[in-house]
């Protein structure tokens, strides 16, 4: 299986060399674009609106400081000085030249990173909770399982030409932070009544043009059966998934058309056959991965002047209120560094910012960094006595915006500023909304809020899961934005419902503004979030706010 | 993307693609390629446009994905985009001063 340690990797060098030769053959005319396209996609290389784009996998969002510095090097040497965190824990470079990409892949190979299977109809980067191994509510650390899945799925011969792309997420918390219900396969680590660890297995979730929440296909799968069971699901889908229509090819459609029971029957039968073939090598590997992801040597020390600093500095206090998460280890917290400062493109990180985070992780964070699917970066393990120092360095770099989980912490795809599939722009809409509510000084009063924006129906911005979702479309040659309400990617997974007719770009902010005013008016207490009020009251009052002329 | 139109004096077209080696947007002029959209050739005749597109497709070792994009003749006689997607391709992204707008330092690309 694929060796995934964060160090020089001969196999990845070999793959980069293969790609170098493929590029040469494309340039000298030996390969047509039709022949070359699937080869470049296998290596994460897209051709976008203004340039090529390279998508690099950050396995389940976990990255070491040296790897982060290599991402910075790529941004500086072969791009325009920055990269873009995606909603699937990848990084995208927007401006590479095709002729430079083999060199970029070589540099990545030297730290064990790659772009394999970040595109194409294969098993994509396995994603998980950015707080894995740190969250106070964790049942088990999902990373060993995510890594096992990655090693197994990388270059898996049977699954290179699936009917369509395939996304797996693993969640280890009592609270799901990996959007399990929106994945082709979602795995929740759970315990059974005998105290054994296993997985609740979901299949058939996905967003895109036909958003569907997944369903539980197996309530409890024993820990040791992970690979044969996942293999059985994908093998069943590989046979029965539709190849006649790209828009009906995802497993969510297979499950919806054939029914969960039919799929379950096939999966269980296939599982029995597949399990025979597993000799236990996977369990040896899993045991090794568990020790690889053993908790770091946490410090058992007092919190220092943390509370005094909080009391003395209201801006620091505000940042600790919004950007820290509860840690399983006493004296520690997880820090969310948002890439959503005023005016910033959601998820864009400069090379300097990446290097700063690498340094902070080494000095204060047990050498650990995570990329979250909200397009932020997490320092999972920071001792409270170090928080003020971390905050000050972040602040100096413009990275201490106290808005994690607030209305300006907007998830947005690149939209038509970069993407060739997009039907409208996302980034300026996100920037305008964030700037507006900051100017009104309402962010903290509004509280926990989730806006997600996609620039086309493919839904990379996960707009269906936003409390407010915004979908950019082309209506007769003009950018137009549909608003969906009531989506949730966390506590109670829900697909947002379209509120009504779309808005031209300049009317989006006023429309959201009316919604927020209505919410502030209607909520029972400051603790009642927008989504809670929406669930209590239904769509009517919010629809009336959006479309006052119809009311 | 411009679909469902026929190049004519009322609905002229340009031929555009991406450069194979570098990826940037290019436009056809006299059978060759320019990175400057203001230099693009305007096609006002369907047959000539189709022949030129065949020529563009044959240059697959230079460009990727050539297509006819609807345009209009500007006051200076140069082509202008009719759809926002083509306008973005000519200008670059709206969040940074990157792409064509930086290349030509002219805001009216």
Query: Average pLDDT for residues B50-66, to the nearest whole number?
Result: 97
| Cα–Cα distance, B71 to B85 (Å, whole number) | 12
Query: Which pLDDT score is estimated for B2?
Result: 45
Q: The tokens of A103 are what?
A: 């060199």
Half-sphere exposure of A343 (CA within 13 A, CB side): 3
CB A458 within 8 A of CB A450: no
| Cα–Cα distance, A121 to A86 (Å, whole number) | 19
| Cα–Cα distance, A407 to A415 (Å, whole number) | 20
Q: Do domains A10-109 and A306-396 have the same CATH topology?
A: yes
A290: left (phi over 0), alpha (psi -120 to 50) or beta: alpha
Cβ within 8 Å, pair A50-B82: no
With contacts defined as CB-CB under 8 Å, which chain A residues touch B88?
49, 416-417, 425
- Going residue by residue through chain A (551 aa), what tens digit of pLDDT does each one get? 566 678 889 999 999 999 999 999 999 999 999 999 999 999 999 999 999 999 999 999 999 999 999 999 999 999 999 999 999 999 999 999 999 999 999 999 999 999 999 999 999 999 999 999 999 999 999 999 999 999 999 999 999 999 999 999 999 999 999 999 999 999 999 999 999 999 999 999 999 999 999 999 999 999 999 999 999 999 999 999 999 999 999 999 999 999 999 999 999 999 999 999 999 999 999 999 999 999 999 999 999 999 999 999 999 999 999 999 999 999 999 999 999 998 899 999 999 999 999 999 999 999 999 999 999 999 999 999 999 999 999 999 999 999 999 999 999 999 999 999 999 999 999 999 999 999 999 999 999 999 999 999 999 999 999 999 999 999 999 999 999 999 999 889 999 999 999 999 999 999 999 999 999 999 999 999 999 999 999 999 999 999 998 76
3-state secondary structure of B106: coil
DSSP class of residue A189? E
A348-350 and A215-222: which strand pairing? unpaired
How far CA A536 is from CA of A173, A334, A407, A524, in Å, comes to 26, 32, 20, 10
Give CATH for domain A134-292: 3.30.413.10
Q: Is the ipTM of this complex over 0.85?
A: yes
Half-sphere exposure of A448 (CA within 13 A, CB side): 13
Q: The tokens of B43 are what?
A: 């096609």
Cβ within 8 Å, pair B65-A416: no
CB B76 within 8 A of CB B106: no
pTM: 0.96
3-state secondary structure of B62: coil
Q: Kindly report, residue by residue over B19-29, the tens digit of the pLDDT.
A: 999 999 999 99
Distance, C-alpha B14 to centroid of its chain: 5
Burial (Cβ within 10 Å: 0-12, 13-18, ≥19) of residue A510: exposed
Instruction: For residue B50, count other CB atoms closer than 10 A to its CB.
Output: 14
Q: Which of A349, A471, A426 is nearest to B93 (CA)?
A: A426
Query: Which pLDDT score is estimated for B107?
Result: 54
| Cα–Cα distance, B53 to B35 (Å, whole number) | 17
- Structural domain boundaries of chain A? 10-109, 134-292, 306-396, 411-550
3-state secondary structure of A479: strand
3-state secondary structure of A317: helix
Cβ within 8 Å, pair B94-A49: no
3-state secondary structure of A480: strand
Q: Which of A421, A420, A417, A481 is nearest to A451 (CA)?
A: A481
Alpha helices for A179-305 (secondary structure H): 226-240, 251-258, 260-277, 281-292
A456: left (phi over 0), alpha (psi -120 to 50) or beta: beta
Cβ within 8 Å, pair A49-B88: yes
Q: What is the Cα gyration radius of chain B?
A: 13
> So what's the architecture of A306-396 in CATH?
Alpha-Beta Complex (3.90)
Minimum Cα–Cα distance from B99: chain A residue? A50
With a CB cutoff of 8 Å and minimum separation 6, the contacts of A294 are none
DSSP class of residue B86? H
- Optimal mutation site among A49, A342, A414, A416, interface B, most CBs of chain B within 10 A: A49
Beta-ladder partners of A196? none
Q: Which CATH number fits domain A10-109: 3.40.1440.10, 3.10.310.10, 3.90.480.20, 2.60.120.260?
A: 3.90.480.20
Half-sphere exposure of B45 (CA within 13 A, CB side): 4
CB A29 within 8 A of CB B61: yes
| Cα–Cα distance, B88 to B86 (Å, whole number) | 5
Distance from CA of A154 to the nearest CA of B (A): 28
> So what's the architecture of A411-550 in CATH?
2-Layer Sandwich (3.30)
Query: Which pLDDT score is estimated for B109?
Result: 63
Q: Kindly report, residue by residue over A59-75, the tens digit of the pLDDT.
A: 999 999 999 999 999 99
**How many H helices and E strands in chain A?**
18, 21
Length of chain A: 551
Minimum Cα–Cα distance from A427: chain B residue? B95
Cα-Cα end-to-end distance for chain A: 61
CB A221 within 8 A of CB A194: no
- Optimal mutation site among B1, B57, B85, B102, interface A, most CBs of chain A within 10 A: B85
- Optimal mutation site among A30, A41, A51, A103, interface B, most CBs of chain B within 10 A: A51
3-state secondary structure of A494: strand
Question: What strands, in cross-sheet order, belong to the sheet with A90-93?
Answer: A45-47, A52-57, A90-93, A82-85, A348-350
CA dihedral defined by A39, A17, A88, A473, rounded to 10 degrees?
Answer: -40
């Amino acid at each position: 299986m694929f060796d995934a340690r964060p160090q020089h990797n001969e196999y990845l060098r070999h793959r980069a060399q293969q790609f170098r030769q493929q590029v040469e053959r494309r340039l000298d005319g030996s390969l047509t674009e039709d022949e070359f396209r699937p080869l470049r996609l296998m290596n994460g290389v897209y051709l976008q609106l203004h340039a090529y784009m390279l998508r690099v996998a950050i396995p389940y969002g976990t990255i070491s400081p040296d790897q982060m510095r290599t991402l910075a090097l790529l941004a500086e040497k072969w791009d325009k000085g920055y990269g873009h965190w995606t909603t699937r824990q990848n990084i995208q470079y927007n401006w590479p030249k095709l002729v430079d990409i083999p060199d970029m892949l070589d540099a990545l190979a030297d730290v064990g990173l790659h772009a394999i299977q970040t595109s194409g109809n294969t098993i994509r980067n396995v994603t998980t909770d950015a707080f894995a191994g740190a969250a106070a509510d964790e049942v088990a650390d999902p990373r060993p399982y995510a890594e096992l899945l990655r090693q197994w799925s990388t270059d898996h011969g049977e699954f290179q030409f699936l009917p369509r792309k395939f996304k797996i997420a693993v969640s280890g918390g009592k609270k799901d932070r990996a959007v399990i219900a929106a994945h082709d396969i979602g795995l929740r680590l759970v315990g059974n009544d005998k105290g054994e660890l296993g997985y609740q297995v979901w299949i058939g979730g996905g967003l895109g043009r036909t958003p569907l929440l997944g369903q539980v296909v197996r309530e409890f799968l024993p820990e040791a059966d992970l690979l044969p069971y996942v293999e059985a699901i994908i093998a069943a889908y590989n046979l029965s998934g539709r190849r006649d229509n790209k828009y009906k090819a995802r497993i969510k459609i297979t499950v919806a058309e054939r029914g969960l029971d039919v799929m379950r029957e096939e999966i269980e039968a296939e599982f029995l056959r597949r399990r025979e073939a597993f000799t236990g090598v996977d369990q040896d590997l899993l045991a090794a991965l568990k020790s690889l992801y053993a908790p770091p040597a946490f410090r058992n020390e007092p919190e220092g002047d943390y509370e005094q600093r909080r009391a003395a500095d209201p801006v620091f206090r505000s940042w600790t209120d919004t950007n820290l998460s509860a840690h399983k280890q006493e004296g520690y917290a997880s820090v969310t560094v948002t890439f959503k400062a005023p005016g910033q493109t959601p998820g864009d990180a400069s090379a300097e910012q990446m290097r700063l985070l690498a340094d902070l992780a080494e000095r204060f964070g047990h050498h650990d960094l995570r990329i979250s699917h909200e397009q932020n970066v997490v320092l999972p393990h920071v001792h409270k006595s170090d928080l003020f120092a971390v905050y000050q360095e972040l602040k100096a770099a413009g990275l201490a915006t106290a808005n994690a989980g607030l209305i300006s912490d907007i998830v947005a795809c690149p939209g038509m500023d970069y993407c060739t599939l997009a039907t409208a722009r996302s980034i300026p809409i996100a920037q305008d909304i964030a700037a507006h509510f900051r100017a009104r000084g309402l962010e903290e009063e509004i509280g926990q809020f989730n806006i997600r924006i996609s620039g086309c129906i493919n839904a990379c911005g996960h707009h269906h899961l936003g409390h407010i979702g915004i979908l950019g479309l082309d209506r007769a040659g003009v950018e137009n934005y549909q608003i969906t309400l009531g989506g949730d990617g966390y506590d109670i997974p829900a697909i947002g419902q379209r509120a009504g007719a779309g808005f031209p770009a300049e009317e989006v902010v006023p429309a959201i503004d009316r919604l927020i005013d209505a919410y502030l008016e209607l909520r029972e207490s400051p603790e009642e979030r927008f989504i809670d009020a929406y669930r209590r009251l239904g769509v009517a009052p919010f629809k009336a706010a959006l479309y006052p002329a119809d009311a | 993307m411009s679909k469902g139109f026929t190049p004519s004096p009322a609905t002229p077209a340009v031929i555009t693609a991406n450069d194979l080696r570098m990826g940037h947007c290019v436009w056809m002029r006299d059978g060759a390629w320019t990175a400057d959209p203001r230099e693009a050739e305007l096609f006002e005749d369907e047959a000539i446009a189709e022949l030129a597109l065949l020529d563009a497709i044959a240059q697959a070792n230079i460009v990727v994905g050539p297509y006819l994009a609807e345009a209009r003749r500007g006051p200076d006689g140069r082509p202008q985009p009719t759809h926002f997607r083509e306008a973005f391709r000519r200008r670059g992204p709206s969040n940074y001063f990157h792409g064509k707008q930086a290349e030509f330092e002219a805001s009216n690309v």
